[in-house]
Chains A and B, each alone.
Chain A
Amino acid sequence: MHPFTYTRVDDVAAASAAVTTDVVARAVQTPDDVAFIAGGTTQLDLMRDGVWSPGSLVDISRLPLTDVQVHDGVLVVGATVTMAALARHAAVRDVAVLRDSLLLAASPQLREMATIGGNVLQRTRCRYFRDPTVTQCNKREPGSGCAAIEGTARTHAVLGVDAGCIAVHASDLAVALVALDARVRLSGPGGTRTLPVAELHVRADQDPSRDNVLAAGELITHLEVPLPEARSGYLKVRDRASYEFALTSAAVVARVEDGVLEHIAIGLGGVGSVPWRATRAEAVLRGQRASLALFEEAATAELADAFTVPGTDFKPELARRTLVRQLRDVTEVTA
């Protein structure tokens, strides 16, 4: 592991002031960078593997951002709240999509370590990105190519990607958050701002070398989740029953009144270079009479332009079926 200095900060302003580059947004961290560390579960792996080599770490895990509160129907979560703590919170237990996106992710130990802010900003699990001996990686080295295109790509993305990079965003939580119209509160040298989670990440087909839109010194301080007046659920399909990333997943928030889909919001996981908001499927469904045929039509529309390589050929169909099944389960409309 590349040597680094370590400091710990107690307040958000000090954290923000310590980081003067766009390191949080970039896909790689270099010896010139001062970077944040909180739960560390992704950070340490990438540093140990030699993918990241920040010269300095600023520990933000003890910032006073540990509260979970409900204000006017909005769940407000401090960025350093752990996945485990959030999943146990009374207000979360009743929101199936949020609860299950947390509890179906990672392992119990990792959930006790990983923070909400870090989870949303987690980096891709692409094995080629995570292996610095692989020379072709447009994320690590723009213009070098993409080894995954001709490599083993079973877990890679099919939406928001092109031949330049097919890295998947692996967060389950973020998929639920885009379906809940959640927002992140950011704090930086220029002040604070609020951004929809759906606008936080950068698609690989736009710029694989950038993972998100955070400015230099900006950090997530809170998550704002409007609690839905609707049914919801998170379905995760994976290669083993537990402790595994999604091959495909579907977060569905829906309210059916008199047979009509009055509210519908969908996130798809395991398929996108970003937590994927299924706007095409939603456009097919919104305001329409719910039926299995309509669910099929909506899911087909969402996956219509999927970009596949031989290893991910199966994914559009699996994602389509995952979404249809979850639409059925959440709406209880089965014909």
Chain B
Amino acid sequence: MSQLPLSVTVNGEPRSVEVDPRRSLLDLLRDTFGLTGTQKGCNQGACGACTVHLDGRRVLSCLTLAAQADGREVTTVEGIGTAGDLHPVQQAFLDCDAFQCGACTAGQVMSAVALLDEPDWETRDDVRELMSGNLCRCGAYPRIVDAVLAARESREA
């Protein structure tokens, strides 16, 4: 099968590669670019572990063809902060103890970072609903909600 030329900006850096048309954005990020922070959980759009930003919107990279990201900007968990300079959402997850095994955390964080810029939410219930696309099998949900609300407060402070 012929390869497709693809140009995509990942975490601010322009990249050009050739891909199999079947390759998902998730596999492009992990296997082609070595950005393994984004996790492959269910690989069928059910768990949210693969959440990244495509032109600033949170999407599931497992259900996105790499080819469909051509010409777009992708942001992964590697692109929002560094070990020495965490994103406020990452700091809030640490402060609130919002994870146990960590398998879902990159997806949770990317989802939460996008949520901070979305309208029409306020309460704990709103956060639970709007974070419902990210499953946590350790059940850290109450603290994930704490972290999202703390991140919003720290941003407004």
Residues of A within 8 A of B (CB): 1, 3-6, 8, 37, 40-41, 44-45, 48, 57, 59, 61, 84, 88, 106-110, 112-113, 242-243
CA distance A41 to B65 in the complex (A): 10
Taking a contact as CB atoms under 8 Å apart, the answer to whether B43 and A37 are in contact is no
Closest-by-CB residue of A relative to B115 is: A108
Taking a contact as CB atoms under 8 Å apart, the answer to whether A107 and B133 are in contact is yes
Given the known inter-chain contacts A108-B133, A110-B133, please indicate yes or no for A5 contacting B2, CB distance below 8 A: yes
Taking a contact as CB atoms under 8 Å apart, the answer to whether B4 and A41 are in contact is no
Q: Mark B84-127, 1 if CB is under 8 A from A, else 0.
A: 00000000000000000000000000010011001110000000
Taking a contact as CB atoms under 8 Å apart, the answer to whether B44 and A48 are in contact is yes
The interface residues of chain B lying within 8 Å CB-to-CB of A44 are 24, 45, 63-65
CA distance A106 to B130 in the complex (A): 11
CA distance A113 to B114 in the complex (A): 14
Given the known inter-chain contacts A107-B132, A107-B133, please indicate yes or no for A6 contacting B4, CB distance below 8 A: yes
Q: Which of A48, A84, A242, A243 contacts B57 (CB 8 A)?
A: A84
CA distance A243 to B130 in the complex (A): 10
B28 contacts the other chain (CB 8 A)? no
Taking A4-B22, A41-B63, A88-B120 as given, write out 16 further A-B residue pairs in contact, using a Cβ cutoff of 8 Å, ordered by the A residue number.
A1-B22, A3-B22, A5-B21, A6-B4, A6-B67, A40-B64, A44-B24, A57-B21, A57-B65, A61-B68, A84-B57, A107-B133, A108-B58, A108-B111, A109-B60, A113-B64
Taking a contact as CB atoms under 8 Å apart, the answer to whether B45 and A41 are in contact is yes
CA distance A254 to B73 in the complex (A): 44
The interface residues of chain A lying within 8 Å CB-to-CB of B133 are 106-110, 243
CA distance A112 to B128 in the complex (A): 17
Taking a contact as CB atoms under 8 Å apart, the answer to whether B21 and A4 are in contact is yes
Q: Which of B67, B68, B119, B132 contacts A108 (CB 8 A)?
A: B132
The interface residues of chain B lying within 8 Å CB-to-CB of A108 are 58, 111, 114-115, 118, 130-133
Given the known inter-chain contacts A45-B45, A107-B132, A113-B60, please indicate yes or no for A37 contacting B65, CB distance below 8 A: yes
The interface residues of chain B lying within 8 Å CB-to-CB of A41 are 45, 60, 63
The interface residues of chain A lying within 8 Å CB-to-CB of B67 are 6, 8, 59
Closest-by-CB residue of B relative to A39 is: B63
Q: Which of A3, A48, A112, A242 contacts B1 (CB 8 A)?
A: A3
The interface residues of chain B lying within 8 Å CB-to-CB of A6 are 4, 21, 65, 67
Closest-by-CB residue of B relative to A4 is: B21
Closest-by-CB residue of B relative to A107 is: B133
CA distance A278 to B131 in the complex (A): 34
The interface residues of chain A lying within 8 Å CB-to-CB of B65 are 6, 37, 40, 44, 57, 59
Between-chain CB contacts (< 8 Å), 8 pairs:
A41-B45, A44-B64, A88-B119, A106-B133, A107-B132, A107-B133, A108-B132, A110-B133
CA distance A243 to B44 in the complex (A): 14
The interface residues of chain A lying within 8 Å CB-to-CB of B119 are 88
Closest-by-CB residue of A relative to B24 is: A44
Q: Mark B6-42, 1 if CB is under 8 A from A, else 0.
A: 0000000000000001101000000000000000000
Which 4 pairs across A and B sit closest by C-beta, in order of nearness? A107-B133, A242-B132, A6-B21, A3-B1
CA distance A143 to B92 in the complex (A): 57
B129 contacts the other chain (CB 8 A)? yes
CA distance A84 to B133 in the complex (A): 13
CA distance A242 to B70 in the complex (A): 32
CA distance A48 to B44 in the complex (A): 8
The interface residues of chain B lying within 8 Å CB-to-CB of A61 are 68
Taking a contact as CB atoms under 8 Å apart, the answer to whether A5 and B1 are in contact is yes
Taking a contact as CB atoms under 8 Å apart, the answer to whether A110 and B60 are in contact is yes
Q: Which of A3, A4, A40, A243 contacts B68 (CB 8 A)?
A: A40
B51 contacts the other chain (CB 8 A)? yes
Given the known inter-chain contacts A6-B21, A40-B63, A45-B63, please indicate yes or no for A109 contacting B68, CB distance below 8 A: no
Taking a contact as CB atoms under 8 Å apart, the answer to whether A113 and B59 are in contact is yes
The interface residues of chain B lying within 8 Å CB-to-CB of A107 are 48, 132-133
Closest-by-CB residue of A relative to B48 is: A109
CA distance A1 to B21 in the complex (A): 10
The interface residues of chain A lying within 8 Å CB-to-CB of B43 are 48
CA distance A26 to B128 in the complex (A): 38
CA distance A279 to B142 in the complex (A): 44
